[in-house]
């Protein structure tokens, strides 16, 4: 279906309430509505057109058009086109209607917009989400008139120990390698609810990118430091968004090199996760084997990029390091070794009872809940949602390779293990195909100009799921850069997975989404007041999120 | 210069104060078969109360600050810190943003205000610090190898 036909459908469905409908090649179809019509438009796009909620960007546009703006991005996966609903709020008392009841996945985004930009959402509870509790009221760091170095002096307060049937997990806990805080509400050995308080790793990245310290070409290095595990994903997503917005032609060879490094990163990330999952189940042999194999991937990454992590080879317009025949031989040798070693490990991990019996049937996320919460990546694919950004919204060199997207319908922890195990094999095949087809030519675009005031979207399938960046270009640096990491979208699903499950399964279930808090750094809080089970069905999840920040 | 209380195997506690995970996975890497620091008796423990040495990563975000202070308070004396990675050493790329404290030096001042003394800090720079560098840092603390850079700060105008 062409863009024109989709435009016609959108005109028919939304024509009555839209102020303006336009198509921007670098982003998608942008529909501007009045705040009063936002709920209706969201309902039509999310429920009638069945578009997947991808991200929301709130912007302080007071210097441009004297409003606060919110852009809700939905994706039509089968057509690979985004529908963006744009709404503007008053500059003095910014208020928008909440759509969290229509689009449950939008919950965190609204909380974040409130916390960082001071946009109020009607008919919902708002509270501190990303910022610490002692942050002064009325100081919104993402507003343009607030300097990025503002540092209110911290007040250190101590919370009394928990009372009642609540178990704290974190922020420093053996099962977590990052500072995040979960509170599990238990009845005997069963978890009845969970409260998540995250965003401990909020470092102010989006604001920093708008500061005079950064330019378009420096931000890829900042983006890589969003996350130490999937950093290259973020730098590629950022460069894609700028390149899309400014229509920069990236040479084919650079696209291939990016794809190869992205797949190498996926290999190391999935092996890392598999090891940690084994460790949490008390199967330390699996952990050690997995990390032994992974070390070769780290050595390979160092050979290709010069660094074990935070590769630093990506720039807007191309890459900084080429691949020569020696490196191609090294990749092929490593892959051959990896294939045989990993096949043995995969056989072991998917057959030992320590893993299989603990993972089967636990942490179930049914398909309809997964769809409602718009989860991404292996979590979605393990719950029967056939979504992969590499295939649905092709970028870099993925249009030239063929690969299988593993989908399982069980939705349990074992399905999530299996999806990742199969993805490791697929990644190795993808790298082989890319090496076969590697074209010659330059690795850096010659002409680069980024005009101000353009919108661009870049998406990358990270090891943890869809990573999506939106950018509004400014002079010399982005006007606004919005990062949405995969874990941001997946953490709310934990409340479904953990509810009514035995306590002993909680660490594996939390790990099964492969949470990356430095990416997400924000939170989920689930209300549970009285201990009544019925109440648990109407959960509100205020959260923070994180990969970006 | 040998640190007497650490003659035997040292137990480490991993304290992530808002790092991007890169240093953290390198710490884990040092513990797994390729580098295998357990052969030197270095062991990761789950509680700061059992720790001889704290492996501190990250620029110390405002939100983790109270928890970091609590965790460090629980560490028995002598209290040693290995500041791992550019962020822990000096705040890294976000040294001046609104949401971080900006490195272990700033933390040390706040700890002193709270009556918590730090006996020694060893800095392991790098973004991320390599596993070899982390092991070297421990060796410096134990006095097994010479410190490479000494504490003379020169700031270019």
Contact residues, chain B, for A221 at CB < 8 Å: 93
The answer to whether B49 contacts chain A (CB < 8 Å) is no
Residues of B in contact with A175 (CB under 8 A): none
Q: Say yes or no: domain A3-122 is CATH 2.60.40.10.
A: no
User: In this model, does residue A548 exceed pLDDT 80?
Assistant: no
**pLDDT for residue A544:** 28
Average pLDDT over residues A105-124: 91
CB B147 within 8 A of CB B5: no
Query: Is B85 an 8 Å CB contact of chain A?
Result: no
Confidence tier at A540 by pLDDT (50, 70, 90): very low
Confidence label for A175 from pLDDT (cuts 50, 70 and 90): low
Go through B55-90 and write b for each residue having 16 or more CB atoms within 10 A of its CB, e for each that does not: bbbbbbbbbbbbbbbbbbeebeeebbbbbbbbbbbb
For B137-152, what is the mean pLDDT? 84
Give per-residue pLDDT as tens, A340-365.
999 999 999 989 988 888 888 888 99
Is B77 part of any domain?
A: yes
Query: Taking CB atoms and an 8 Å cutoff, what residues of chain A touch B97?
Result: 148-149, 203-205, 207-208
B55 touches chain A (CB under 8 A): no
Q: Does B75 touch chain A (CB under 8 A)?
A: no
Q: Do B101 and A208 touch (CB under 8 A)?
A: no
DSSP B77: S
Query: Looking at residue A195, what is its pLDDT?
Result: 78
A222 with B93: Cβ contact below 8 A: yes
Cβ–Cβ gap A171/B32 under 8 Å? no
CB count in 10 Å sphere of residue A513: 28
Between A151 and A170, residue with greater pLDDT: A151
Q: Do A518 and B19 count as a contact with CB atoms less than 8 A apart?
A: yes
Minimum distance, in Å, between the CA of residue A228 and any CA atom of chain B? 4
Q: Which residue would you say has higher pLDDT here, A543 or A476? A: A476
Mind spelling out the 3-state secondary structure of A380-420?
HHHCCCCCCHHHHCCCCCHHHCCCCCCCCCCCCHHHHHHHH
Chain A residues with beta carbon closer than 8 angstroms to that of B65 = 132, 154, 156
Name the least confident of A418-422, A512-516, B115-119: A512-516
Domain at B33, CATH number: 3.40.50.12280
Q: Is residue B58 part of a domain?
A: yes
Task: Give the pLDDT band of residue B7 (cuts 50, 70, 90).
Answer: low
Interface test with B, best of A309, A486, A507 (most B CBs within 10 A): A309
CA-based angle B49:B54:B57, to the nearest 5?
A: 135
Assigned domain for B103 exists: yes
The alpha carbon dihedral of A493, A495, A498, A499 has a sign of negative
Q: Which long-range CB contacts under 8 A does A280-289 form with residues at least 24 apart?
A: A280/A175, A280/A507, A280/A508, A280/A511, A281/A354, A281/A355, A281/A358, A281/A359, A281/A508, A282/A354, A283/A352, A283/A354, A283/A355, A286/A345, A286/A348, A286/A349, A286/A352, A286/A355, A287/B32, A288/B32, A288/B33, A289/A345, A289/A348
CA dihedral sign of residues A324, A330, A333, A339: negative
- ipTM of predicted assembly, 2 dp: 0.90
pLDDT tens-digit readout, A3-58:
889 899 999 988 889 889 999 999 999 999 999 999 999 999 999 999 999 999 99
pLDDT at A268 over 90: yes
Pairing outcome for strands A120-122 and A95-97: parallel
Tell me: pLDDT of A168 over 80.
no
> What are the strands of the beta sheet with A501-502, ordered from one edge?
A166-169, A181-187, A190-197, A501-502
* Subunit contact A291:B32, Cβ cutoff 8 A: yes
A172/B15 Cβ within 8 A: yes
Question: Which chain B residues are closer than 8 Å to A291 by Cβ?
Answer: 28-29, 32-34
Q: Which of A160, A198, A200, A511 best probes binding to B when mutated, by most B CB atoms within 10 angstroms? A: A200
Per-residue pLDDT tens digits for A435-447: 999 999 999 998 8
Chain A: closest CA distance from residue B10 (Å): 18
Q: What are φ and ψ of residue A69, in 5° steps?
A: -115, 150
- The structural domain count of chain B equals 1
Compute the nearest-CA separation of A273 from chain B (Å): 11
Do the chains contact at A156 and B14, CB–CB below 8 Å?
no
Tell me whether B100 touches chain A (CB under 8 Å): yes
- Touching check for B77 and chain A: CB below 8 Å? no
**Contact yes or no for A149 and B20 at CB 8 A:** no
pLDDT at B55: 94
Of A202, A221, A291, the CB nearest to B29: A291
Instruction: Using alpha carbons, select from A512, A546, A547, A461 the residue that is nearest to residue A276.
Output: A512
Is pLDDT at A526 greater than 50 in this prediction? no
Sheet holding A455-462, edge to edge: A455-462, A465-473, A478-484
| Distance from C-alpha of A400 to C-alpha of A394, rounded to nearest angstrom | 9
- Closest chain A CA to residue B59: A203
Among A158, A201, A270, A345, the strongest candidate for a mutation testing the B interface, having the largest count of B CBs within 10 A, is: A201
Task: Give A362-387 pLDDT, tens digit per residue.
Answer: 889 999 999 988 999 999 999 999 99
Q: What are phi and psi of A526, to 5 degrees?
A: -115, 130
Query: CB A178 to CB B64 under 8 A?
Result: no
Domain limits, CATH 3.30.460.80, in chain A: 3-122
**How far does B35 lie from chain A, in Å, by closest CA?**
10
Q: Does residue B23 sit within a domain?
A: yes
- Is the pLDDT at B5 greater than 70? The verdict is no
Q: Which residues of A333-371 are buried (b: 16+ CB within 10 A; e: fewer)?
A: ebbeebeeebeebbebbeebeebeebbeebbbbeeebbb
Candidate from B16, B21, B62 with C-beta closest to A132: B62
Residues of chain A with CATH 1.10.645.10: 205-488
Helix ranges (H only) for A167-230 are 205-209, 219-224
- Tell me the pLDDT tens digit for each residue of A231-252: 899 999 999 999 999 999 999 9
B64: containing domain? 7-142
Q: Is it true that domain A205-488 has CATH number 2.60.40.420?
A: no
């Amino acid at each position: 279906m062409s863009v024109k036909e989709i435009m016609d459908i959108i005109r028919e469905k939304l024509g009555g309430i839209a102020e303006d409908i336009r198509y921007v090649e670098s982003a998608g179809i942008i529909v501007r509505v009045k705040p009063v019509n936002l709920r209706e438009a969201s309902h039509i796009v999310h429920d009638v057109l069945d578009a997947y909620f991808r991200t929301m960007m709130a912007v302080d546009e007071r210097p441009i058009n004297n409003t606060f703006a919110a852009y809700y991005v939905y994706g039509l996966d089968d057509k690979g086109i985004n529908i963006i609903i744009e709404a503007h709020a008053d500059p003095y008392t910014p208020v928008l209607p909440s759509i969290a009841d229509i689009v449950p996945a939008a919950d965190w985004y609204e909380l974040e917009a409130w916390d960082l930009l001071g946009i109020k959402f009607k008919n919902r509870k708002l509270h501190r989400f990303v910022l610490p509790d002692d942050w002064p009221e009325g100081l919104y760091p993402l507003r343009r008139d607030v300097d990025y170095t503002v540092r209110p002096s911290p007040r250190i307060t101590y919370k009394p120990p928990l009372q009642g049937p609540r178990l704290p997990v974190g922020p420093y806990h053996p099962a977590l390698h990052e500072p995040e805080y979960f509170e599990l509400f238990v009845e005997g050995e069963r978890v009845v609810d969970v409260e998540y308080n995250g965003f401990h790793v909020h470092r102010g990245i989006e604001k920093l990118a708008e500061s005079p310290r950064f330019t378009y070409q420096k931000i890829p290095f900042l983006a890589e430091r969003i996350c130490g595990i999937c950093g290259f994903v973020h730098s590629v997503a950022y460069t894609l968004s700028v390149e899309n917005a400014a229509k920069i032609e990236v040479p084919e060879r650079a696209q291939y090199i990016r794809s190869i490094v992205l797949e190498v990163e996926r290999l190391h990330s999935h092996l890392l996760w598999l090891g940690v999952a084994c460790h949490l189940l008390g199967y330390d042999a699996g952990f050690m084997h997995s990390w032994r194999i992974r070390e070769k991937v780290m050595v390979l990454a160092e050979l290709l990029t010069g660094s074990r992590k935070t590769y630093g080879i990506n720039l807007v317009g191309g890459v900084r390091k080429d691949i020569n025949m020696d490196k191609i031989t090294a990749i092929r040798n490593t892959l051959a070794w990896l294939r045989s070693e990993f096949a043995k490990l995969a056989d072991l991990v998917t057959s030992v009872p320590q893993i299989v019996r603990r993972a089967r049937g636990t942490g179930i996320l049914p398909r309809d809940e997964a769809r409602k919460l718009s989860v991404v990546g292996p979590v979605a694919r393990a719950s029967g949602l056939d979504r992969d950004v590499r295939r649905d919204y092709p970028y870099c060199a993925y249009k030239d390779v063929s690969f299988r997207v593993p989908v399982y319908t069980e939705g349990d922890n074992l399905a999530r293990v299996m999806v990742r195990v199969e993805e490791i094999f697929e990644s190795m095949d993808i790298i082989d195909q890319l090496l076969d087809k590697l074209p010659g030519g330059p690795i850096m675009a010659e002409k680069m100009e980024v005009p101000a005031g353009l919108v661009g979207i870049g998406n990358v399938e990270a090891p943890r799921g869809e990573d999506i960046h939106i950018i509004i270009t400014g002079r010399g640096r982005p006007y606004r850069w919005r990062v949405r990491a995969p874990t941001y979208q997946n953490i709310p699903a934990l409340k479904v997975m953990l509810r009514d499950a035995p306590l002993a399964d909680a660490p594996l279930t939390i790990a099964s989404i492969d949470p990356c808090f430095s990416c997400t750094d924000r939170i989920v809080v689930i209300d549970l007041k009285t201990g009544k089970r019925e109440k648990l069905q109407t959960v509100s999840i205020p959260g923070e999120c994180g990969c970006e920040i | 210069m040998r640190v007497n209380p650490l003659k035997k195997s040292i137990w480490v506690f991993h304290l992530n104060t808002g790092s991007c995970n890169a240093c953290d996975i390198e710490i884990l890497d040092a513990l797994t078969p390729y580098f295998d620091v357990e052969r030197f008796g270095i062991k990761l423990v789950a509680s700061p109360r059992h720790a001889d040495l704290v492996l501190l990563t990250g620029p110390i975000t405002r939100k983790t600050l109270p928890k970091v202070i609590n965790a460090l308070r629980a560490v028995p004396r002598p209290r040693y810190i290995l500041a791992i990675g550019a962020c822990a050493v000096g705040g890294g790329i976000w040294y001046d943003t609104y949401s971080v404290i900006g490195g272990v030096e700033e933390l040390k001042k706040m700890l002193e205000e709270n009556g918590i003394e730090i006996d020694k800090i060893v800095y392991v720079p790098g973004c991320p610090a390599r596993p070899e560098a982390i092991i070297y840092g421990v060796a410096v603390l134990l006095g097994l190898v010479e410190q490479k850079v000494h504490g003379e700060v020169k700031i270019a105008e």
